[in-house]
Structure 1
Amino acid sequence: MSDQADDNGAMRAVKDCVAGSAGGIAQVFAGQPFDTVKVRLQTQPDMYKGTMDAVRKTLQNDGPAGFYKGTTTPLVGVGLCVSIQFLVVEHMKRTFARINGTPSNQPPVLTPLQLYTAGAAAGVANSVVSGPVEHIRVRLQVQSSGAAAQYKGPIDCIRQIYSSHGLGGIYKGQLPTILRELNGYGMYFMAYEALVQRTMARTGKARSDLSSGLVCLYGAAAGFAMWLTSYPIDVVKSKLQTDGFAGAARKYSGSMDCLQKTIQQEGIKGLFRGITPCLLRAAPANAATFIGFEMAIRALG
């Protein structure tokens, strides 16, 4: 019986990873253009007057392909990140269900705190990969095109940073990344799973019977819950990850210094620069994530 349980657990984990990868790939294609505009507004406040100005100048200077700068890294990395997220959150949900004494043939009903804890654990685990993935992505997103480009692509960016600054350089901005992932994914999965649990309880439907429209709607709501509670941390993260490494090129000595200087120079509104494209991205990107995951889980059985 123990061997069978182990085999079932291993197979469940594999399915969670595969489905998470499907959700991550869908997220990148749906959300990358919005993310590029968000990062440029966060890290280059003097260059753009607002969201539409950033869109217009990106089109003028880089063409439509400019919105997909740095896509290779997240396409690989975000697939892995979302796999980790769903692997951990599904494991935590099953663990809490056992603690609550929920029979194995019934869907787990978890408290909001349990759902937040499951999401927070997924976020912290995910940050090991998402930190360097986002670091490389944002450096590619904000650099100029053509001959002025410092990096030829993600591999060249990794090579240059690692050769000059080691692993610590690759993980630049990791503290705010961990903080953002912890709270952000706590709110993210709590919102989504609470809405799913509520609908299942109200309608008597199984999770697999929920409509695609509802999955997309709840995924969008989860994205809003994440970003509305974590956006200032993301601004600090992006500023640190596009900052210089040493000498005059380095503006910030750390997370608190970045926070203080941002408020001094830009006011509180500086902590919310780029939130418009971020929230515009939240709906399609996170709807795509959850529909990709749920559809893959249903197909895998």
Structure 2
Amino acid sequence: MSASKSSDVKPQQAKRGAVDFVAGGVAGLFEALCCHPLDTIKVRMQLYRKSGKKPPGFIRTGINIVEKEGFLSLYKGLGAVVIGIVPKMAIRFSSYEFYRSFFYDENGKITAGQTFLAGVGAGITESIMVVNPMEVVKIRLQAQHHSMKDPLDIPKYRNAPHAAYLICKEEGFKTLYRGVSLTCARQATNQGVNFTVYSKLKEYLQKREGKEILPSWQTSGIGLISGALGPLSNAPLDTIKTRLQKSSYASNESGLVRIIKIGKQLVKEEGINALYKGITPRIMRVAPGQAVTFTVYEYVKDLLTKESGAGINLSGNTPNKKNSN
């Protein structure tokens, strides 16, 4: 009897893993296509050097990019994001559920603090495995001030694979992990807050509405709220990380020394507000990005499974209980 149960569980787990991978990948692709221009604007704002003039806001920065480099320049670095988005989302959701499984009590309950820790673990895991190399390549592409209107204006990095190749060739493979500690810290806080707020808001709405499957507009709403809170807590980390990863020169200094030096230089030359450069477009990107991600993820997962309880369980109940996302 136990052997029969074991043989049944394995196909279910394999199906869940496949559903998570596909649904997460599709959700990430939609999120990237919808929100990448805001990320490009954010990066340009973070890289803007003080020149005696008032730094342009996010709308002016976007207009400048379009006027000088063409509309498609807003999608610089998109290839690096798309290449990494499927494994990133698969790792994010699957590792979150894996870490969370350690915290269930005998009644199948999990606290908000434990949910936060599972989200932190998921953020660190995705940072090391996918996010940091992807962002180094993306930022190098976004930082190039070349016009996509002029076919003769050939940039150093032509696309994501070419950028990754040149970075490894000229600066070494370890350059892809420059700023990894900051990326881990950023993603850890992002996903810790994101999953905790999302799961608790969803659990509240499920109880209030008396149903397990929420409409898409409610899923989008709680995804929007949960996605907006992370950037507010870690904006300085993201700004310093962007400056660090954009740099192409080799240094014998340790990562911590360079992080502190960049932070001090930013504050000294441009003031404490410089640590929050790009916060507006970042929130505008991350918040709707999470709304898109969770909504598309749950919609695609529902199409693939047509049953409750498959895929990733983001609420506070154990996976073996019927609870749709």
Normalised by the length of structure 2, the TM-score is 0.84
Q: CA deviation at 1:148?
A: 5.7
Letter in 2 for 1:238: T
Structure (1 or 2) with the larger CA radius of gyration: 2
Aligned length: 288
Q: Which has the higher helix share?
A: 1
Q: CA separation in 2, counterparts of 1:85 and 1:246? A: 31
Q: CA deviation at 1:212?
A: 0.5
Partner of residue 95 from structure 2, selected from 82, 88, 92: 88
Q: 1:79 is matched with which residue?
A: 86
Q: CA separation in 1, counterparts of 2:287 and 2:176? A: 30
Q: 1:105 is matched with which residue?
A: none
Alpha-carbon contact 1:175-1:255 (below 8 Å) kept: no
Q: CA separation in 1, counterparts of 2:214 and 2:201? A: 11
The verdict on how the C-alpha distance between 1:136 and 1:16 changes in structure 2, with shifts beyond 3 A counting, is same
Partner of residue 222 from structure 2, selected from 215, 218, 222: 218
Alpha-carbon contact 2:20-2:301 (below 8 Å) kept: yes
Q: 1:60 is matched with which residue?
A: 67
Is 1:227 equivalent to 2:231 in the alignment? yes
Q: CA deviation at 1:204?
A: 2.1
Q: 2:190 is matched with which residue?
A: 184
Q: CA separation in 1, counterparts of 2:74 and 2:275? A: 23
Alpha-carbon contact 1:219-1:290 (below 8 Å) kept: yes
Letter in 1 for 2:62: V
Q: CA separation in 1, counterparts of 2:165 and 2:17? A: 33
Structure 1 gap segments, 5+ residues each: 103-108
Letter in 2 for 1:64: F
Deviations 1:114-164 (A, max 9, x none): 111111111011002100101100110110215362211112211111012
Q: 1:279 is matched with which residue?
A: 283
Q: 2:126 is matched with which residue?
A: 126
Which deviates the most, 139-148 or 42-51? 42-51
Alpha-carbon contact 2:132-2:179 (below 8 Å) kept: yes
Q: CA separation in 2, counterparts of 1:46 and 1:28? A: 30
Q: CA separation in 2, counterparts of 1:171 and 1:263? A: 25
Aligned pairs (5 A) from 1:244-259? 244-246=248-250, 254-259=258-263
Q: 1:135 is matched with which residue?
A: 136
Letter in 2 for 1:132: P
Alpha-carbon contact 2:227-2:287 (below 8 Å) kept: yes
Q: Percent identity?
A: 28
Partner of residue 150 from structure 1, selected from 134, 144, 156: 156
Q: CA separation in 2, counterparts of 1:240 and 1:100? A: 46
Partner of residue 204 from structure 1, selected from 177, 201, 210: 210
Letter in 1 for 2:74: F
Structure 2 gap segments, 5+ residues each: 148-152, 306-325
Is 1:24 equivalent to 2:28 in the alignment? yes
Q: CA separation in 1, counterparts of 2:295 and 2:161? A: 31
Q: CA deviation at 1:18?
A: 1.4
